[in-house]
Structure 1
């Protein structure tokens, strides 16, 4: 009898095929993992889970007595209750070092789209409103030689800084838990406190991981510190921003516009106020969503899973205390 693995939410079939000969793979998508009876039944026999954004907490772990590893198909792992997993000897892994360039492309892309009003003016043309020379009402703002403030100068933040500095001659300010000397040397990035960054930046790009410290990091006070000409960009997690405060900042014209790839609730409701602003670019969490990158991530997630199930230390183990091997 084959050992059971649960694939949850989203893992490319091309990667899962590596498991077919040795494991029974049961796939779940679009379910409530707390109430779905088939999922809860599968947990009883599952030794491994691979997938995206499954909340792994004490309640789930109590349903999974044989579980050895949860392999996240993402860089983030805030969905994993690592303390509870470690108590039970359940390993957790993620997929770093794969999506930086792809995500940076997407985030810098929506920054450009917001600054140059690309989505808004695309609609303007398609709606038949382009009947002559543009007026100043359709003018946008430059990106080159402006100041880009990056909050969260990790791998993705550094890759965004690279595009801004080397591609658009932008001055880079950054705020981070610790200094990023490599970014300072390569991209002439200047470390500063959060308030200074907010006051001086023409573009504020939010890229920290979601933690208790970063939840609602940007709210009413922070938006009021930004320039009226500032474009706010969020490519981190929706909960790092107080969306009500963002809506008020846009209504009061405290900022020029926003570019958002993440939201507090995803998918965002079609009647959400943020979707009513023409100066807000909204994309459906597309950061790593190219076939090439998603396949690399899925293959790495499966590689981590297989290592954990065969007694080896997974390459991207995030709670090393749970590993019982050599």
Structure 2
């Protein structure tokens, strides 16, 4: 039986890690594929030497020399990433070299969709403030005496929660809310399918076209971007970061939104003009935001977003779930193996 090689460009010793062992396991299921683990910190010449005659490379890190590597590997046909985002790769230049770029095939789509919904719920119910107040001993700051039996007020100092302990107009359910989904791909469509069961009204905007059957399954109605921004209670972003999407949400777009609307971003930080968002939140142009991503990561400690009580931040962790890890490893090996055998890859990202 002929055997095929797939390179894994990763930190030294990656094959001994849990993720590395996942790749090895799924390669064993292919029966005719061998993985070559290549230290991504080696010199370019050494990496070229170790990847000679390889058609597929699975990346496990961000390596800025990929285009130069591709120029020196005539055999190379695929760069397979473990992420949904591929903005760090020069896809148009790679395409000119005959090299495709594939993302993770939706391996983390469920986890990110669930995280986006969790951010919606958390902003709507100020979940972070509820938790931090209870843990700091300020239980009464969120208690409502006429709705609770035998509440005992403590001598703990009150919290610094400025909007007030119980402003009922700032707490909401998702039922009946209009959710505007920008990007109805693998993640956005899963957000829609789940929120339909939560009795939400669903609209979307996307530059891509989808089959009628695909749209029907989401129960979402297509609208213009302006209509989505101006009528949605929640705007949630599910687009890749490309030249066409950088700062697609900025001052003008935020001003279109309702004053009680919230913005959710689990895609990439630079899809949103962060300074414009900070100004919009401070000026109460919109009510709040739930962000898993920021323009600079890790977020700098002097970033005003950290001190806004109408903002919930998580550390670019939406994808993190065991199921995502397994899905991503399985897809990466299967897709890279297809190309190694001479077949076309799946989940190719357009070279823009």
Give the shorter-chain TM-score range: 0.7 to 0.9
- Match of 1:70? 79
What is the alpha-carbon distance in structure 2 between the residues aligned to residue 184 and residue 93 of structure 1? 24
What is the alpha-carbon distance in structure 1 between the residues aligned to residue 215 and residue 335 of structure 2? 33
Aligned pairs, number: 310
- Match of 1:49? 57
**Contact map agreement 1:179 1:191 (CA 8 A) in 2:** no
Rg larger in structure:
2
Q: How does 1:110-259 map to 2 (within 5 A)?
A: 110-131=119-140, 133-134=143-144, 135-137=165-167, 140-166=171-197, 168-178=198-208, 180=210, 181-182=212-213, 185-259=216-290
**Contact map agreement 1:239 1:264 (CA 8 A) in 2:** yes
More deviation, 171-180/310-319 = 310-319
Distance 1:3 1:202, change over 3 A: closer
Unmatched segments (≥5 aa) in structure 1: 29-35, 321-326
2:322 corresponds to 1:288: no
Distance 1:177 1:319, change over 3 A: closer
Distance 1:61 1:185, change over 3 A: closer
Question: Secondary structure of the equivalent of 1:136?
Answer: coil
Distance 1:280 1:92, change over 3 A: same
More deviation, 307-316/266-275 = 307-316
What is the alpha-carbon distance in structure 2 between the residues aligned to residue 185 and residue 303 of structure 1? 30
2:299 corresponds, among 235, 245, 268, to 268
What is the alpha-carbon distance in structure 1 between the residues aligned to residue 65 and residue 175 of structure 2? 43
TM-score (norm 2): 0.78
**Contact map agreement 1:43 1:64 (CA 8 A) in 2:** no
**Contact map agreement 2:8 2:35 (CA 8 A) in 1:** no
Unmatched segments (≥5 aa) in structure 2: 145-164
Question: Secondary structure of the equivalent of 2:80?
Answer: strand
Deviation at 1:137, TM superposition (A): 4.1
Question: Secondary structure of the equivalent of 1:253?
Answer: coil
2:113 corresponds to 1:104: yes
2:15 corresponds to 1:8: no
Alpha-carbon RMSD across the aligned residues, in angstroms, is 2.8
What is the alpha-carbon distance in structure 1 between the residues aligned to residue 80 and residue 34 of structure 2? 17
Distance 1:111 1:56, change over 3 A: farther
Deviation at 1:175, TM superposition (A): 1.3
Question: Secondary structure of the equivalent of 1:160?
Answer: helix
Distance 1:319 1:223, change over 3 A: closer
Question: Secondary structure of the equivalent of 1:92?
Answer: strand
